[in-house]
Structure 1
Amino acid sequence: MTSELVKGVGVLKSSEGRDILTDYTYPKDKEVLPLVIFCHGYKGFKDWGAWHLGIDEIARSGCFAVKMNFSMNGTTKDAPEDFVDLEAFGNSTYSQEQRDLASVIAHYRSNPLVANDRVFLIGHSRGGGAVLLQGYHNEEVTGIITWAGVSDFRKRFPHHERFEKWKQEGVFYVVNGRTNQQMPHYFIFWEDYIANEERLNVQKAAQHINKPVLIVQGTQDPAVPLKEAHLLHQWINDAKLVEIEGADHVFGAKHPYLSNELPSDLAEVIGQTIDFIKNN
C-alpha cells in the first residue's frame, strides 16, 4: 500500500536576509526519516521539469525530502519558476550557495521527524559541485548524490578575451535558451571565487571526502560531459558511478513537464538514488 504524502512549504532567510524558498514531502504515519535535500543547477530552480515527481518517489521510499531554491537564483518567493530578479542572479556566488545550503541543512535537521544522523544531499549539474563541497566541509552531511554533476567550477568562467572584456565592463550575459532572457553575471562572481578558491575547489573536496557518494551521469549529456563523472569517480574513494545509457543532461525531462509519470531515464536515476540512500 502506497503511503500518503504530507507536503509543505518553508521560507528560510539567507545569511544576507534573502528568502530561501523550500518545500518538503514525507510519508504520513512515519517517523525518524532520513533527510534528503535536492539542489538545482545553473539557470535552474526546484520546481523545474519533473524534479517534483522524482522527489515524491524518494519521499515515498521513506525519506523526509526537501527541494530548495538558492536565494539568488533569480526567482522569488512569489515567482518561484520565473527569473524575475536578474540582479540577484547576476550577483550570486558559489559562496552564497554554500551558505544557503548550510542554512537549509541546519533548519531541517532540527525537525523532530528527521533522523539527523542521516543527511543526504542531491545536486543536479552545478548543484552537484555544490553538494560535494558542502558534503566535504559540513560534518552534518552523511551522504552525497550527484546527478550530472560538474567536476570543476573554475573552467566554467570566461577565458582570455572574454574574461578581459568581463573584467573591463563588469558584467557578461548568458542567454537562457528556454526564456530568451539575457542573464547577467557581475564580476563579483569571479572575485568571490578567487578569494575562496581553496574552499570552492571541487577536485580537492572530492579527493578528500570520506563519505558515501553516488555519481549518476547520462552518456549523452551535452552540458556536462561523461568524462567529468569519470573524474569524480577517480577522485572519490569508493564512490559508486552509474551511467545511464543514452541519457541527456536532464534525464529525459523538460520544462514544463506535463506528464504524471517520470521519464524512463529519470526513473532509473531515482531508483538508483533510493537504493543508495537505503544502503547508507
Structure 2
Amino acid sequence: MTHKNNILNRASKKPILWDAFYNATGIQKPLVIFCHGYKGFKDWGAWDLVGEAFAQADLFFVKFNFSHNGGTMEQPIDFPDLEAFAENNYSKELEDLEDLINFFRSTSNPFQAEIDPNKLILIGHSRGGGIVTIKATEDDRITKVITWASVSDFGKRTATSGELEQWQKDGVKYVLNGRTKQQMPHNYQFYEDFKANESRLNIEKAVKKLNIPHLIIHAKDDPSVAFSEAEALHSWNTKSILFPIENSDHVFGASHPWQPEVLPAPLEKVVQKSTAFIRP
C-alpha cells in the first residue's frame, strides 16, 4: 500500500506533507521514518522506490517534507515557497520530526494495526542524518537510528567567519541550487537559532550519548560530505556500525528525476543493509 501526500495539520504551525509505504497485513511492523537533507524533499529522485523496498521488507516506511523545506501542499516537489525556506532552521526540523512521531504514536493514527508501537527507527540523509541523531538522544521511543551520508557538524555548515558580518548586515544570504538554478535564501534567524541552541545541536555530543543500535552508511567517494565525517561519527560511538559504499556518491547513484523502475546498485546496497539492520 502507498499513501501519498497526506497532510498533518498543526495548530499555529505550517502543515507537514508525508507518504507511507507498507504491506497491509494487519500485523504490526517496525515504523521507519526517513528525513531528507538540505535542499531535499520527500519526492526527490528514487525515494519512492526506497519506500517500496522497505515495504517489501515488511516495514512501515514514512517519508515527509520538513515544513519549511520550500515545498507546499499543492507543489511538494522543488521549492515554490522560498519565503518558508528562508525561515527554516534546525530547531524547526527537530520539532517537525517530533510532531510526526507523536502523530504515529497517537490514537488518532489510522495505521495502528500495522505499526509496532515498540519499534521506531529513524533514518536521515545528509543534514537529515544530524537531525535524526540528535532526536534519537532526546526521545526514548526511538529504538534504532541509521544515517545515510550524514554530516557530523552543523556548526561549520551554518556560517563561515568571513560571511557572518555581511549576513547579519543584509539579514539574508543566498545559496545557489545547482539543479533548479534558484537562489535559495537563508534569513539571519538561521544563525541566531543555531547559536541559541548550539549545545543541543552538537552532533558529536549527541552521538556520544547514543545507547541504541546505530548504523552509519556513507560512500567512500562522497563529494559533498567527506567519508571522514562518517569515520568521525563512528569514532564517537565505537558500538556503531560503519558500512562504506564503494564507487558511489552523496546520493548513492540516484539523481532527480529518476526514471528507471529499479534502484541504482549503490542505493540498493544501502537499502539492503538498512533493512537487515532493522530486521536482523
TM-score tier after normalising by the smaller chain length:
over 0.9
CA distance in structure 2 between the partners assigned to 1:270 and 1:108 by the alignment: 23
Q: Which amino acid aligns with 1:242?
A: F
Q: CA deviation at 1:6?
A: 4.3
CA distance in structure 2 between the partners assigned to 1:149 and 1:159 by the alignment: 20
CA distance in structure 1 between the partners assigned to 2:228 and 2:89 by the alignment: 25
The one of 69, 75, 91 equivalent to 1:95 is 91
8 Å contact from structure 1 (residues 75, 83) kept in 2: yes
1:1-280 matches, cutoff 5 A: 5-14=1-10, 16-110=12-106, 111-112=111-112, 113-279=114-280
The TM-score with structure 1 as length reference comes to 0.96
Q: Which amino acid aligns with 2:57?
A: S
8 Å contact from structure 2 (residues 21, 54) kept in 1: no
Q: Which amino acid aligns with 2:42?
A: K
Q: Which amino acid aligns with 1:190?
A: Y
Secondary structure of 1:65's match? strand
Q: Which amino acid aligns with 2:273?
A: Q
Q: Deviations over 1:92-116 (max 9, x none)?
A: 0100000000111111123412111
Change (3 A) 1:185 1:15: farther
CA distance in structure 1 between the partners assigned to 2:4 and 2:167 by the alignment: 41
Q: CA deviation at 1:160?
A: 2.0
Q: Deviations over 1:103-160 (max 9, x none)?
A: 1111112341211110001100000000001111111111101000110100002212
8 Å contact from structure 2 (residues 22, 58) kept in 1: yes
Q: Which amino acid aligns with 2:271?
A: I
CA distance in structure 1 between the partners assigned to 2:251 and 2:170 by the alignment: 33
CA distance in structure 1 between the partners assigned to 2:227 and 2:50 by the alignment: 22
Q: Which amino acid aligns with 2:163?
A: R
Secondary structure of 2:124's match? strand
Matched residues, percent identical? 46
Change (3 A) 1:15 1:229: farther
In the alignment, structure 1 segments of 5+ residues that lack a partner are none
CA distance in structure 1 between the partners assigned to 2:196 and 2:12 by the alignment: 19
CA distance in structure 1 between the partners assigned to 2:159 and 2:194 by the alignment: 13
8 Å contact from structure 1 (residues 19, 76) kept in 2: no
8 Å contact from structure 2 (residues 159, 191) kept in 1: no
Change (3 A) 1:14 1:221: farther
CA distance in structure 2 between the partners assigned to 1:30 and 1:264 by the alignment: 32
State which drifts further: 153-162 or 34-43.
153-162
Secondary structure of 1:18's match? strand
Change (3 A) 1:99 1:14: farther
In the alignment, structure 2 segments of 5+ residues that lack a partner are none
Aligned residues: 275
Root mean square deviation of aligned Cα: 1.2
State which drifts further: 110-119 or 123-132.
110-119
Secondary structure of 2:117's match? strand
Secondary structure of 1:98's match? helix
